[in-house]
């Protein structure tokens, strides 16, 4: 490894952009992180979060050695131990638990704090399959929308984002792209400059993205499907649909035409809070502009009806035949193009047909407090559930359980790690070898170790190999090197887009685009092979077969809908413990409409308490016009810093969305008062 010079890297964060990076090294340390100007999509642009990444990599708070708890649960008192002692403690406890309670008493909990395919779903999956542990349904992020989109389109396939520079109308629907998909904004602005493209944003708050849009449309939370149906109503009514495309490429357009008659602009306006005039304006703009592109965000699918929202909005481009235009169509997620061989990587065969139970990660609190047989040990890695999981008070109560053996593997002593019995130090992604597959652009990328591990930290792959050895597992699956695992993952005959792409090529070239062909060159992977405006499969699964507006579940008699969204300078809870990133973000704020603030006697800058039956949260009010009356919005998953009560997930429901077991973070009702 060279001690000086510039090395290639990939951003490992859970962000669709997956930027190419250059790391500048001096005496073995990274001194500067910048965008790789040669990356075909991201072209040297990166966000401020990662430009400041050295503050995180070399933060003095980084964990450098394994530790065991010496204080009370959650007190955060630990003593240094060796890796040998750590692995021995964990595996002997687990062996004992397997004897007394069975392997299902052990539950893994992880998400995509590192998007590397090996870090997130490699040796860990092999290990827990072999162990026969309870399985985790990883549903916290985007599953409801993924399932909804699949009903319409057959899989996670949208357009090539590079083509969006040709779009003439770009609708950012429930996506705070300026913060969460920066590269899409770069392309949208290019489209605006080159072809006078209009950027429209539909959101419940006027955030950074709303401010750069040509037209910001505020909408009431959880009502977007109604707006999409109102647009369809006008498109059919005014003959703005593409009859040829509908006949050739869709099923159910006649049923849909009849069905949307009920969604009159007047009724839709009542539901959504969007004026009749604006509904007409938007529908006519959409019906008369080609190519038009909808970037479907994650926000509206974090509601009770989120799956149906995505299913519905995904029908729109078909009505006007946009999919055949360069730069026309939609993206929800493009992960289908880069689908790797999960069987090879995760080895579900190691489960040997054991019927182990599956636990939805959105209901971690219940799983820890009430599951039968109980969860006796939780192993958390690449995630921070004490802050990010819904109904957080239940989660933290579960983590406090005296008889829960909790192991946490992370780079920092997170809120979750504070409750641990054993804490293990993790490398950062720049210290490992891993494969990266974006869920927005269509490039595969590779990371090779750019610096030596900090302290005694180890990667997820290494730790699970050690745990396998400690458990006495002798399967060859636990011997594979990172390079071998990447080769196995890429060997996916089920995905023609990856054909001919090998580890060696990636190691040499750094990034390779999948072999993309036009989406409609073949049949779509839906049952009919066409876009399913009417879906027999949905009917079989107990959903209305046609796109439908379904109101949010009653969450109690509180006057406000509460939307605790992400912020600009953190990534979920990552960076929320870094001084640099906190100083950029300043402080958490509760956005409240001035009418509501006035009625409640709240002034800008006042400390307020928001509460419901799940908990409460104290925060400073930001009074203005950024949100509609009746809506409260916060930004960011702030760490539980000393003396603060900023944990917004204390208030969020752990109800399950309409599809895929998805999360409903944005469907809580709350009340607010001045402190």
Ligand X SMILES: Nc1nc2c(c(=O)[nH]1)N[C@H]1C(S)=C(S)[C@@H](COP(=O)(O)OP(=O)(O)OC[C@H]3O[C@@H](n4cnc5c(=O)[nH]c(N)nc54)[C@H](O)[C@@H]3O)O[C@H]1N2
Which spans of this chain sit near ligand SF4 (rule: CB under 6 A)? 11, 13, 15, 17-19, 46-47, 49-50, 182
Site string (113-152) toward ligand X, x via CB under 6 A: xx----x--------------------xxx----------
Instruction: Tell me the Cα Rg of the chain.
Output: 25
Closest chain position to Mo ion (CB): 141
What the block records as the tokens of 575 is: 């960076």
Rank residues 407 and 471 by Cβ distance to ligand X and give the closer one. 407
**Distance of closest approach, residue 21 Cβ to ligand SF4, in angstroms:** 7
Closest chain position to ligand X (CB): 299
Any contact of residue 141 with Mo ion (CB under 5 A)? yes
Q: Assign 3-class secondary structure to 243-310.
A: HHHHHHHEECHHHHHHHHHHCCHHHHHHHHCCCHHHHHHHHHHHHHCCCEEEEECCHHHCCCCHHHHH
How far is it, in rounded angstroms, from Cα 217 to Cα 174?
A: 10
How far is it, in rounded angstroms, from Cα 89 to Cα 73?
A: 17
The residue written with tokens 């403690």 in the block is 89
**Distance of closest approach, residue 454 Cβ to ligand X, in angstroms:** 12
Please name the residues in contact with 2: beta carbons below 8 A apart, sequence gap of 6 or more: 25
Any contact of residue 175 with ligand X (CB under 6 A)? yes
| Candidate segments 5-13, 137-145, 163-171, 206-214, binder of Mo ion by CB under 5 A | 137-145
Q: Which does 207 bind (CB under 5 to 8 A by kind): ligand SF4, Mo ion, ligand X, none?
A: ligand X
**Distance of closest approach, residue 347 Cβ to ligand X, in angstroms:** 20
Q: Name which position in 573, 578, 650, 664 contacts ligand X (CB under 6 A).
A: 573
Rank residues 17 and 104 by Cβ distance to ligand SF4 and give the closer one. 17
Q: Which does 50 bind (CB under 5 to 8 A by kind): ligand X, ligand SF4, Mo ion, none?
A: ligand SF4
Rank residues 119 and 463 by Cβ distance to ligand SF4 and give the closer one. 119
Contact call for residues 446 and 106 (beta carbons, < 8 A): no
**Distance of closest approach, residue 433 Cβ to ligand SF4, in angstroms:** 19
Q: At what angle do helices 265-272 and 276-288 cross, to 10 degrees?
A: 110
φ, ψ of residue 83 to 5 degrees: the values are -60, -40
Cis check for the bond before 174: say yes or no (omega within 30 of 0): no
Tabulate helix, strand, coil % of the chain (nearest 5): 35, 20, 45
Residues 420-459, interacting with ligand X (CB under 6 A): 426, 429
**Distance of closest approach, residue 11 Cβ to ligand SF4, in angstroms:** 3
Residues 203-222, interacting with ligand X (CB under 6 A): 203-205, 207, 219, 221-222
What the block records as the tokens of 95 is: 């062996």
Calculate the CA 87 to chain-centre distance.
Answer: 31
Site string (475-504) toward Mo ion, x via CB under 5 A: ------------------------------
Rank residues 426 and 526 by Cβ distance to ligand X and give the closer one. 426
Q: Where are the beta strands (DSSP E) in 472-539?
A: 511-513, 531-532
How far is it, in rounded angstroms, from Cα 132 to Cα 2?
A: 42
Q: Which residue ranges make up the site for ligand X (CB under 6 A)?
A: 14-15, 111-114, 119, 140-142, 174-176, 179-180, 202-205, 207, 219, 221-222, 224, 297-300, 303, 381-384, 388, 409-412, 414, 426, 429, 460, 563-568, 570-574, 633, 637, 648-649, 652, 665-666
């Amino acid at each position: 490894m060279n001690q000086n010079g510039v090395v290639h890297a990939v951003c490992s964060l859970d962000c669709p952009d997956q930027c190419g990076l250059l790391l500048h090294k001096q005496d073995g340390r990274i001194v500067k992180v910048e965008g790789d100007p040669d990356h075909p999509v991201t072209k040297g642009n990166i966000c401020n979060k990662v430009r400041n990444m050295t503050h995180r990599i070399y933060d003095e708070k980084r964990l450098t050695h394994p530790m065991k708890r010496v204080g009370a649960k959650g007190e955060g008192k630990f003593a240094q131990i060796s890796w040998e002692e750590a692995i021995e403690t964990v595996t002997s406890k687990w062996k004992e638990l397997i004897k007394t309670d069975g392997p299902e008493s052990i539950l893994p909990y992880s998400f995509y704090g590192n998007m590397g395919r090996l870090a997130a779903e490699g040796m860990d999956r092999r290990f827990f399959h072999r162990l026969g542990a309870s399985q985790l349904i990883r549903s916290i992020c985007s599953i409801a929308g993924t399932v909804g989109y699949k009903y319409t389109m057959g899989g996670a396939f949208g357009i090539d984002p590079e083509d969006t520079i040709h779009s003439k109308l770009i609708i950012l629907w429930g996506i705070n792209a300026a913060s969460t998909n920066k590269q899409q904004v770069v392309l949208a602005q290019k489209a605006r400059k080159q072809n006078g493209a209009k950027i429209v944003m539909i959101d419940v708050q006027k955030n950074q993205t709303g401010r750069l849009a040509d037209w910001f449309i505020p909408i009431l939370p959880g009502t977007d499907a109604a707006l999409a149906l109102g647009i369809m109503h006008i498109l059919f009514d005014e003959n703005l649909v593409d009859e040829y495309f509908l006949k050739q490429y869709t099923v159910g357009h006649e049923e849909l035409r009849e069905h949307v008659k009920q969604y009159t602009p007047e009724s839709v306006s009542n539901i959504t809070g969007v004026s009749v005039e604006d509904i007409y304006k938007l529908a006519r703009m959409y019906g008369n502009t080609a190519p038009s592109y909808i970037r479907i965000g994650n926000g509206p699918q974090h509601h009770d009806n989120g799956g149906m929202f995505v299913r519905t909005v995904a029908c729109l481009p078909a009505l006007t035949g946009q999919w055949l235009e360069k730069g026309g169509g939609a993206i929800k997620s493009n992960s289908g193009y880069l689908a790797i061989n999960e069987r090879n990587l995760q080895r579900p065969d190691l489960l040997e047909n054991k019927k182990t139970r599956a636990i939805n990660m959105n209901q971690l609190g219940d799983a820890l407090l009430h599951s039968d047989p109980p969860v006796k040990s939780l192993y958390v890695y690449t995630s921070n559930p004490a802050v990010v999981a819904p109904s957080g008070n239940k989660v933290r109560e579960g983590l406090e359980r005296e008889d829960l053996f909790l192991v946490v593997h992370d780079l920092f002593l997170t809120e979750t790690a504070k409750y641990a019995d054993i804490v293990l130090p993790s490398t950062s992604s720049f210290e490992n070898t891993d494969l990266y597959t974006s869920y927005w652009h269509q490039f595969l990328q590779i990371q090779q170790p750019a610096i030596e591990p900090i302290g005694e930290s180890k990667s997820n792959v290494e730790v699970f190999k050690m745990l396998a050895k400690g458990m006495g597992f002798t399967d060859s699956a636990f011997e594979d090197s990172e390079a071998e695992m990447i080769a196995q993952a890429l060997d996916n005959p089920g995905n023609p887009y990856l054909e001919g792409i090998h580890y060696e090529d990636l190691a040499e070239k750094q990034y390779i685009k999948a072999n993309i062909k036009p989406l409609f060159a073949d049949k779509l992977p839906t049952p009919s092979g066409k876009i399913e405006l009417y879906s027999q499969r949905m009917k079989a699964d107990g959903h209305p077969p046609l796109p439908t507006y379904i109101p949010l579940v009653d969450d109690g008699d509180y006057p406000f809908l509460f939307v605790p969204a992400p912020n600009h300078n953190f990534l979920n809870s990552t960076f929320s413990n870094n001084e640099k990133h906190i100083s950029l973000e300043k402080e958490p704020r509760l956005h409240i409409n001035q009418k509501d603030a006035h009625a409640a006697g709240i002034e800008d800058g006042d400390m307020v308490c928001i509460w419901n039956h799940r908990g409460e949260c104290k925060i400073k009010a930001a009074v203005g016009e950024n949100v509609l009356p009746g809506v409260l919005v916060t930004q960011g998953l702030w760490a539980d810093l000393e003396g603060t009560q900023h944990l917004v997930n204390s208030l969020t429901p752990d109800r399950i969305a309409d599809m895929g077991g998805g999360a409903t973070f944005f469907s809580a009702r709350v009340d607010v008062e001045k402190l």
